[in-house]
Chains A and B, each alone.
Chain A
Amino acid sequence: MAGRLDSFTLIRAGLLIDGRGGPPLERAAVLVRGSSILAVGPEHEIAAPESAHAQTLDFSDRTVMPGMVDCHTHHNGFGDGRAGDDLAALSDETLTLQSARNARASLFTGVTTIRENGPKNATMLRLRDAVRQGVTVGPRMVLCGRPVSIIGGHMSYFGSVVTGPVEGRAMVRQLVKEGADYIKITATGGSTRTSYPLLPSFDVDELTAIAGEARKFGLLTAAHCTSTQGIVNSLDAGVDMIIHCIFREPDGRFDFKDDVADRLAERGAFVNPTLHVLRSRIWAALRNHGEAALTTAARRRMDEDERAFETAIEHTRRLIERGANVITGSDSSWGDYPLGNAVYETECLLMAGMPAMDAVMSVTSKAAKAIGVDETVGSIEPGKEADLIAVEGNPVENLDALWAVTDVMADGRLVERGSQESISATRQLRPASS
């Protein structure tokens, strides 16, 4: 865009949270030049060059903070409870359209960067093409292309199935060729009907080959792990992020392993516990049945879901205590959790004992670091891309402020978000009894 470098925007902030963890700054300002942040500091110290034509955005009654970073999304999904197996039966075109809708829901609710954890075929790569061509809008996208699975493994229906280290390497090369930014692996089974969530999927030699090949190209790796052996295998293979990180034995027992948690912390691996997707099942059941009308089977399922959620919160608490790098990754729109609601996951991290400022960082700077985009986004610092949001209230005092996003800036431009009514409609409602 010609002349963008000469365009300045001065943003006045009643409160500034730069995302780096320091105390919020009152009466601050951010100066944006073109698409990036030029200066940030107390209001009286920040001004556009005198000769320049600067646009001013007055958020002096609001908090300005970095645009949110959601480390774990499924943009193909609906969040209406349908299984991945059924989702994958839809056409690529339908899934791409749904992804575009979800991308807009993310962006309009203040999420300016997402890492997508598993779509079908090339749907997200094509969506990104379309965004680059101006056909639609969306957050910055960090894409895996497709998750790498064993035959019949979790998300194997999305299109990348391999056996053995050689095929593992070949698949990484294929995904890199297609434009993947990182490699997602399903290291255990999951909700996929033909997979075994309590058992590992790949062997360590396969995981090592995949992770090694990714590292060779400078790509990060992330592994879906819904049972303990998968976590251990992934750590052995040098995977960078453990997703779900459920400490569970093949017989179904939950059993937190201190030694594994310590290894996670020492290695500096990131942990994405995906708590709210568990709570969403409970919320959906409450909404669909109303507690009184639950059948015995449904009651039992809800009890199990509640136990799984409470255990996950408790295990996340222990991970945090042991110094693991826990970040926000919503896992929406998977299960019953629709995109546009990333804040619920951060809220669950607060419930697990994460300090408030850390929670904000878990969805900004730490999240950016976890997905390898911290050089460009995640905090409000000179040199970074101008992805920021204005919210009503102070999210460090009350995280609900993150629901009250009034403006979203991406790449130095205010996003046209449309009617409030249409944005509100993307909100997942909290059930009355919760």
Chain B
Amino acid sequence: MAGRDGDFKLIRAARLIDGSGAPPIERGAVLLEGGRIRASGPEETVAPPEGARVKEFSYDSHTALPGLIDSHVHLIGIGDGRAGDELTTLPDEVLTLQAARNARAHLYSGVTTVRDCGAKNRTTLELRQAVQMGITVAPRLVLAGRPIAIIGGHLSYFGIQATGPTECVAAVRQLVKENVDFIKITASGGSTRTSVRGRPSFDVDELTAIVNEAHKLGRHAAAHCTDSQSIANAVEAGIDTVIHGRYAEPDGSHKYRPELTERIVERGVFVNPTLHQARERVWQLERKAESEMLSEDEQDLIDQFYQGWESAAAFWGRMKDEGVKLVAGSDASWQHYKLGGTSFQDEITAHVDIGMTPMEAIVSATSDAARSCWIDDEVGSIEPGKKADLLVVEGDPSHDIRALTSVTDVFMDGERVDRGNLV
């Protein structure tokens, strides 16, 4: 329920991070009117109009920052390790209920906007309908509906397979008719059993058709790419965001391609590296190892992860240093990674672990994430006129990124979210 015009809220915090990357403002304040931010800055510069009704919130040892934007979620996921091929056998009603549960849990964890990168049939669109009817609460939803895949391609079981530029254009038009916010393409294979890992899926003419149609109809496009060729294809087609994006050859080896990085930077393509997804499984196994013996496979998985982590971190550090805009997106609840709790904070932490400063990581999860989702005119930073989506955490995340996990309050649309509402 959005706040109404004429209803003011004054939020004071020990520290204000506006999401732009500017240094924190000590003793800052944000003035909300209705569902929007009216003013922000040092406490003494922010005052409500005289005689206005104002509700005040004071956070003496806390930081206020923009509500987090998770640019990559799968709301229908269960996050218990089941494969997408299994997930998709559940009925749409059950998947929609799961999406509602995840959406609520993620909102309560401090995420006020999510971009859903692929769901079965109309499930996430149905969730949005229910949110608009007041049946359930959710972060702001930026939805792909169903991803566009090749026959048998990654996520093809969610409902759209297209072949050739004409069918691709038709798929985009169909999705736009259903009022999706962006187009998700699987430009390479993935975990889907019938897809071919490490190889591109669509050809460049198909990708180009999808991206052009999306742009024509005012939507951005994001592509799942798990190998270098598919990244090159997507970039050539004019893609807006590359997802995953680690350079890999068909044989699985990693070869850095400086010219590809240059093109990504030149064209201003965002990259959502989904850093924590694999590590989340490792963290779970490490917790399990505290009380029971791991199987050989499980131990192998941990060992392999750590063998690869350093080079992965070095790769992403280099991408960042060469000017690639990395945006945070968790990829939860895919595989073993559950939405809610501190899941998005764990992804943001991974951005620090590959060499970002805490402030850069916050930007990657707020204003840059908003830019990559084409919603930066509305959210992603604390500035007058933007939606009043705020997060209040204990401590100072610009020094210690883990402070983001100490969530005290979440504001969305100018209203404090009742994080205890389980109805």
**Which one of A91, A93, A419 has the highest number of Cβ atoms from chain B below 10 Å of its Cβ?**
A93
Per the 8 Å Cβ criterion, residues 373-430 of A in contact with B are 416-419, 421-423, 425-426
Known: A98-B130, A130-B98. A92 touches B420 (CB 8 A): no
Which residues of B sit under 8 angstroms from A105, Cβ to Cβ? 423
Tell me whether B253 is interfacial, beta carbon within 8 Å. no
The answer to whether B423 touches A104 (Cβ under 8 A) is yes
Which residues of B sit under 8 angstroms from A421, Cβ to Cβ? 418, 420-421
CA distance A107 to B184 in the complex (A): 39
Tell me whether A1 is interfacial, beta carbon within 8 Å. no
Interface of A (DSSP majority class): helix
CA distance A100 to B137 in the complex (A): 13
Question: Chain B 128-168 against A: per-residue CB contact (8 Å), 1 yes, 0 no?
Answer: 01100101100000000000000000000000000000000
**Which one of B91, B136, B418 has the highest number of Cβ atoms from chain A below 10 Å of its Cβ?**
B91
The answer to whether B422 touches A418 (Cβ under 8 A) is yes
Rounded to whole Å, the gap between the CB of B129 and the closest CB of chain A is 6
Task: Choose from B101, B129, B130 the contact partner of A136 (Cβ within 8 Å).
Answer: B101
The answer to whether B93 touches A127 (Cβ under 8 A) is yes
Tell me whether A94 is interfacial, beta carbon within 8 Å. yes
Interface size of A by CB at 8 A reads 30
Task: Choose from B78, B127, B423 the contact partner of A426 (Cβ within 8 Å).
Answer: B423
Tell me whether B94 is interfacial, beta carbon within 8 Å. yes
Tell me whether B96 is interfacial, beta carbon within 8 Å. yes
Task: Choose from B78, B123, B129, B418 the contact partner of A419 (Cβ within 8 Å).
Answer: B418
**Which one of A94, A97, A127, A418 has the highest number of Cβ atoms from chain B below 10 Å of its Cβ?**
A97
Tell me whether A122 is interfacial, beta carbon within 8 Å. yes
What bracket does the count of chain B residues touching chain A fall in?
Answer: 20 to 34
Task: Choose from A91, A101, A135, A425 the contact partner of B94 (Cβ within 8 Å).
Answer: A135
Known: A105-B423, A422-B423. A94 touches B129 (CB 8 A): yes
**Chain A, residue nearest B91 (CB):** A126
CA distance A127 to B420 in the complex (A): 22
Tell me whether B92 is interfacial, beta carbon within 8 Å. yes
The answer to whether A416 touches B92 (Cβ under 8 A) is no
Tell me whether A133 is interfacial, beta carbon within 8 Å. yes
The answer to whether B127 touches A97 (Cβ under 8 A) is yes
Known: A91-B126, A97-B127. A423 touches B423 (CB 8 A): yes
**Chain B, residue nearest A133 (CB):** B94
Rounded to whole Å, the gap between the CB of B163 and the closest CB of chain A is 29
Rounded to whole Å, the gap between the CB of A291 and the closest CB of chain B is 28
CA distance A416 to B127 in the complex (A): 24
Tell me whether A160 is interfacial, beta carbon within 8 Å. no
Tell me whether A59 is interfacial, beta carbon within 8 Å. no
The answer to whether A97 touches B423 (Cβ under 8 A) is no
**Which one of B97, B135, B423 has the highest number of Cβ atoms from chain A below 10 Å of its Cβ?**
B423
The answer to whether B97 touches A135 (Cβ under 8 A) is yes
CA distance A414 to B112 in the complex (A): 30
Rounded to whole Å, the gap between the CB of B221 and the closest CB of chain A is 26
Tell me whether B320 is interfacial, beta carbon within 8 Å. no
Tell me whether B254 is interfacial, beta carbon within 8 Å. no
Tell me whether B281 is interfacial, beta carbon within 8 Å. no
The answer to whether B126 touches A419 (Cβ under 8 A) is no
Task: Choose from A104, A130, A416, A422 the contact partner of B93 (Cβ within 8 Å).
Answer: A130
Per the 8 Å Cβ criterion, residues 87-142 of A in contact with B are 91-94, 96-98, 100-101, 104-105, 108, 122-123, 126-127, 129-130, 133, 135-136
Known: A97-B130, A419-B418. A108 touches B423 (CB 8 A): yes
Q: Which 8 A-B pairs have the closest CB atoms?
A: A419-B420, A418-B422, A93-B126, A126-B93, A422-B421, A96-B93, A93-B96, A97-B130
**Could you show 30 A-B contacts with beta carbons less than 8 Å apart?**
A91-B129, A92-B92, A93-B96, A93-B122, A93-B129, A94-B129, A94-B133, A94-B135, A96-B93, A96-B96, A97-B96, A97-B97, A97-B126, A98-B130, A98-B135, A100-B97, A104-B422, A108-B422, A122-B93, A123-B93, A129-B93, A130-B94, A135-B94, A135-B98, A418-B420, A419-B418, A419-B420, A421-B420, A422-B422, A422-B423
Q: Taking A130-B98, A418-B421 as given, write out 10 further A-B residue pairs in contact, using a Cβ cutoff of 8 Å, ordered by the A residue number.
A: A104-B422, A108-B423, A130-B94, A130-B97, A135-B78, A418-B422, A422-B418, A422-B423, A423-B423, A426-B423
Q: Which residues of B contact A (CB under 8 A)?
A: 78, 91-94, 96-98, 100-101, 122-123, 126-127, 129-130, 133, 135-136, 418, 420-423
Q: Which residues of A contact B (CB under 8 A)?
A: 91-94, 96-98, 100-101, 104-105, 108, 122-123, 126-127, 129-130, 133, 135-136, 416-419, 421-423, 425-426
